[in-house]
Amino acid sequence: MVSVINMEDLRYLKLFKDITGINTRFCFEYNNNLIFCVPRWLAYRAIGENGKNAKKISEIVKKRVKIIANPEGISDLKKFVESIVSPSTFKSIEIIGEEIVITAGNRTNKAMLIGRNKKRFSEMQRIMRDFFKKELVIA
């Protein structure tokens, strides 16, 4: 799914495996958070009791860490995007042809989804291309 893994991502994936014991190949950054995707049935084990694994990784890399369930198809799109952008919210998400359209609702939510200099938008666009092979549009 994720097309390019750079050296820094490899280091993060190795650290994740060393701490959690779970091997994954899905790691990306969004809004200065480091996000790992694991199969749904391994998510609880990856997070650890009371979030101890996530906290330990966060202390080492000095970034906030999220561990979310890997999408199993287009049916998991809404839950996947909600997990990535939280605590920000959006009104709805739909697939129109080869585009994923996120309706933000009010101006504040739209601004939070786009980010300064479209940084969050470009990060989310890359994630959608890697996981779902579709372009992203925020309305």
Q: Which CATH class is domain 7-69?
A: alpha beta
Average pLDDT estimate for 90-110: 92
Q: What DSSP line would sit under 13-61, residue for residue?
A: HHHHHHHH-----EEEEETTEEEEEE-GGGHHHHH-GGGHHHHHHHHHH
Q: What are phi and psi of 136, to 5 degrees?
A: -110, 140
Structure confidence by residue, pLDDT tens digits, 21-32: 999 989 999 999
Structure-model confidence comparison of residues 8 and 1, the more confident one: 8
Predicted pLDDT at 73 = 85
Decide: residue 12, CB within 10 A, 0-12 exposed, 13-18 middle, 19+ buried. buried
Query: What average pLDDT does this structure show over 99-126?
Result: 93
Q: Looking at residues 46-70, what average pLDDT do you find?
A: 95
- β pairing state of 92-96 and 64-69: unpaired
Say whether pLDDT at 130 is over 80. yes
Q: What is the per-residue pLDDT for 3?
A: 65
In this predicted structure, what is the pLDDT of residue 6?
84
- Residue 40's pLDDT is what? 93
CATH number of the structural domain 74-134: 3.30.300
**pLDDT-based confidence at 2, cuts 50/70/90?**
low
Cα distance between residue 36 and residue 30, in whole Å: 11
Q: What is the pLDDT of residue 52?
A: 96
Residue 1 has pLDDT above 70, yes or no: no
Segments of the chain assigned to CATH 3.30.300.20: 7-69
- Tokens 């749904």 belong to 40
